[in-house]
Amino acid sequence: MAVRVGVLGATGAVGQRLIQLLDPHPDFEIAALTASDASAGKTYRQAAKWRVDSPIPDDVAGMTVTATDPDDVPNDVDLLFSSLPSSVGEAVEPGFCDAGYVVSSNSSNGRMDEDIPLVIPEVNADHLDLLEVQRDERGWDGAMVKNPNCSTITFVPTLAALEEYGLEKVHVATLQAVSGAGYDGVTSMEIIDNAIPHIGGEEDKLETESKKLLGSFDGAELSLNDVEVGASCNRIPTIDGHLENVFVETAEDLTPDEAAEAMRVYPSLDLPSSPDQLIEVFEDPERPQPRLDRTLGDGMSVAAGGIRESTFGLQYNCLAHNTMRGAAGASVLNGELLLENGYL
Ligand SMILES: NC(=O)c1ccc[n+]([C@@H]2O[C@H](COP(=O)([O-])OP(=O)(O)OC[C@H]3O[C@@H](n4cnc5c(N)ncnc54)[C@H](OP(=O)(O)O)[C@@H]3O)[C@@H](O)[C@H]2O)c1
């Protein structure tokens, strides 16, 4: 029997990707769609300005969008994928968990809370058991798991692959696509023929979320990894796909060949949305590129290339699709992990 799921913020950019990934899905069946009060009561086709590169699934198009309120979501829905603006998520997500729903959320609120697992399944699936601590502390019948920021998800799997060499210092510079800011986030007059060397709050997310993802969980408490991470974030005029330049200093000697091999063999999982190859490593120094490589593994792989020695340690570039691996796909993968681990 498929698990009945809902999408909070279903009409937005990430919400539309969620619907694209969930209809059809082998384990999940869409049973609820929510958005703002302005969309409530409309059919999904009326409420959503559909901009995804496949048609609205017929069964979803005719569903009625409700307000984002636990009273409006059927009780037999077990799992909610949240793609709400973080200020809205902060206000409403805990109420859904209290009402018994399990929430797999994209929104940034609560990502660094000590009792909220921040999970990339291939990197730190064991952190999911923090949900036991969360339920004890918050008294929730439901639960909350978060996926990281899209630019954090892009480089952390490559760091996880190198962890055995002892991560000491990392600097990452991002070249982020405009879709990461949402459809109305950056105007064409701002971004065409331009690059914007600041994305509010983004650097802090890369610097802190990476330490939590690479941290360790002893069954009761989560300790942050003590790697030092510095980030600088840039918006560039690509549509999808965040490209990042990474410099890593490790305790052990690490050659470019060893780094490439460690990334190549870093395992994927066997969940329905897992890519066959988690990290695709290119020999060609001109790859990965957003337009050519963002859809590797149906948008769920990370690509790496340009691996070489530098004055600042190992240097390489990596890329991931920001609304697939970086947002909707990340939430769905966390939902699949919740199901596999008996949380649904
Ligand atoms: N875009 C990315 O690449 C990306 C990547 C990672 C994480 N995220 C995060 O994912 C979340 C969604 O991003 P997005 O780009 O999809 O945003 P978006 O396109 O602006 O969509 C926002 C959604 O939330 C709903 N909403 C807005 N205000 C609401 C309210 N007061 N109450 C209930 N629902 C409300 C909107 O409904 P209406 O249509 O009715 O207004 C819409 O469904 C954000 O937290 C963002 O930071 C985005």
Per residue, the 3-state secondary structure of 112-148, as one string, reads: CCCCCCECCHHHHHHHHHHHHHHHHHHCCCCEEEECC
Distance between Cα 67 and ligand 1 center (Å): 14
**Ligand 1 atom, smallest distance to 109 CA:** 45
Instruction: Tell me how many domains the chain contains.
Output: 2
* Ligand 1 contacts CB of residue 39 (under 6 A): yes
- Which residue is closest in CA terms to ligand 1's atom 2? 180
Both tokens of 333, joined, read 């993968």
Shared-domain flag, residues 166 and 264: yes
Q: In this structure, what CATH number is given to the domain that contains residue 88?
A: 3.40.50.720
Q: What is the pLDDT of residue 93?
A: 98
User: How far is Cα 146 from Cα 120, in angstroms, rounded to an integer?
Assistant: 9
Annotated catalytic residue: which of 150, 233, 318, 321?
150
Distance between Cα 247 and ligand 1 center (Å): 32
Shared-domain flag, residues 129 and 190: no
The tens place of each residue's pLDDT in the chain, 344 residues long, gives 899 999 999 999 899 999 999 999 999 999 999 999 999 999 999 999 999 989 999 999 999 999 999 999 999 999 999 999 999 999 999 999 999 999 999 999 999 999 999 999 999 999 999 999 999 999 999 999 999 999 999 999 999 999 999 999 999 999 999 999 988 899 999 999 999 999 999 999 999 999 999 999 999 999 999 999 999 999 999 999 999 999 999 999 999 999 999 999 999 999 999 999 999 999 999 999 999 999 999 999 999 999 999 998 999 999 999 999 999 999 999 999 999 999 99
**Ligand 1 atom, smallest distance to 65 CA:** 40
User: How far is Cα 166 from Cα 273, in angstroms, rounded to an integer?
Assistant: 30
242 is catalytic: yes
Shared-domain flag, residues 234 and 336: no
150 is catalytic: yes
* Ligand 1 contacts CB of residue 183 (under 6 A): yes
Q: What is the pLDDT of residue 182?
A: 86
3-state secondary structure of 91: helix
Q: What is the pLDDT of residue 183?
A: 82
Annotated catalytic residue: which of 97, 242, 318, 321?
242
Shared-domain flag, residues 80 and 227: no
Sequence-distant (6+) residues with CB within 8 A of 108 are 86, 89, 149, 201, 205
User: How far is Cα 118 from Cα 334, in angstroms, rounded to an integer?
Assistant: 10
Question: What one-character DSSP code corresponds to residue 43?
Answer: B
Shared-domain flag, residues 143 and 171: no
Shared-domain flag, residues 144 and 282: no
**Ligand 1 atom, smallest distance to 149 CA:** 6
286 by Cβ neighbours in 10 Å (0-12 / 13-18 / 19+) ranks as: exposed
Number of neighbours of residue 72 by Cβ within 10 angstroms: 14
Distance between Cα 12 and ligand 1 center (Å): 5
Shared-domain flag, residues 179 and 256: yes
Q: What is the pLDDT of residue 1?
A: 85
Q: In this structure, what CATH number is given to the domain that contains residue 260?
A: 3.30.360.10
Shared-domain flag, residues 99 and 192: no
* Ligand 1 contacts CB of residue 83 (under 6 A): yes
The alpha carbon torsion through 66, 105, 14, 298 (nearest 10 deg) reads -130
How far apart, in Å, do the first and last CA atoms of the chain sit? 12
37 by Cβ neighbours in 10 Å (0-12 / 13-18 / 19+) ranks as: exposed
Ligand 1 mutation target, pool 8, 17, 36, 52, most atoms within 8 A of CB = 36
Q: Element (H or E) spanning 253, and its range? A: none
Shared-domain flag, residues 131 and 167: no
Which segments of the chain does DSSP mark as H helices, in order?
13-22, 44-47, 58-61, 86-98, 121-124, 130-138, 150-162, 188-191, 202-213, 256-265, 290-293, 329-340
Q: Which domain holds residue 261?
A: 150-321
